[in-house]
Structure 1
Amino acid sequence: MVPLLLVLLLVVILFGAGFALKVLWWVAVVLFVFWLLGFIARGAHPSGGRRRWYRW
């Protein structure tokens, strides 16, 4: 009985980790798209000058 419960617990943990990793991949893709759009649009400043959209 205990090994069965341990296997079920392992399945639940791995299923949860897989779902969380899939969500994190989608978040990473969305952030990459926003970064790419900001990188492309960085030169479109109303004053005509090139301005960085980030502060490093």
Structure 2
Amino acid sequence: MNKDQVKGRVEEGKGKIKETVGKVIDNEQMEVEGKVQKNVGKGQAGYGDVKENIKKKH
């Protein structure tokens, strides 16, 4: 596992928590920020996955 995979999954988790807290306390801005953070994390983790796959093939 490379650093992009780890960082991405951490950000994804933090985003999920923020999104859930936003829903619970009825804070739409926090909920949206959580969704954005979660999606950024997914993108970074995906990038890390691609890097890892390329590394394994060579």
Per the normalisation by structure 2, the TM-score is 0.55
Structure 2: where are the runs of 5+ without partners?
Answer: 1-24
Aligned residue identity for 1:12: Q
Paired residue total: 34
> Identity of counterpart residues, as a percentage?
9
Residue in structure 2 matched with residue 36 of structure 1 by the alignment: 53
Radius of gyration: which is bigger? 1
Higher relative contact order (CA 8 A, sep 6+): 2
Q: Using the alignment, how far apart are the partners of 1:22 and 1:34 within structure 2?
A: 18
Residues 4-36 of structure 1 show CA distances to partners (whole Å, capped at 9, x for unaligned) of xx74xx100000000000000000100000000
Match among 7, 14, 27 for residue 31 of structure 2: 14
Give the whole-Å Cα distance in 1 for the aligned partners of 2:46 and 2:32: 21
TM normalised by structure 1 equals 0.57
Q: Which consecutive residues of structure 1, in runs of 5 or more, have no partner in the other structure? A: 1-5, 42-56
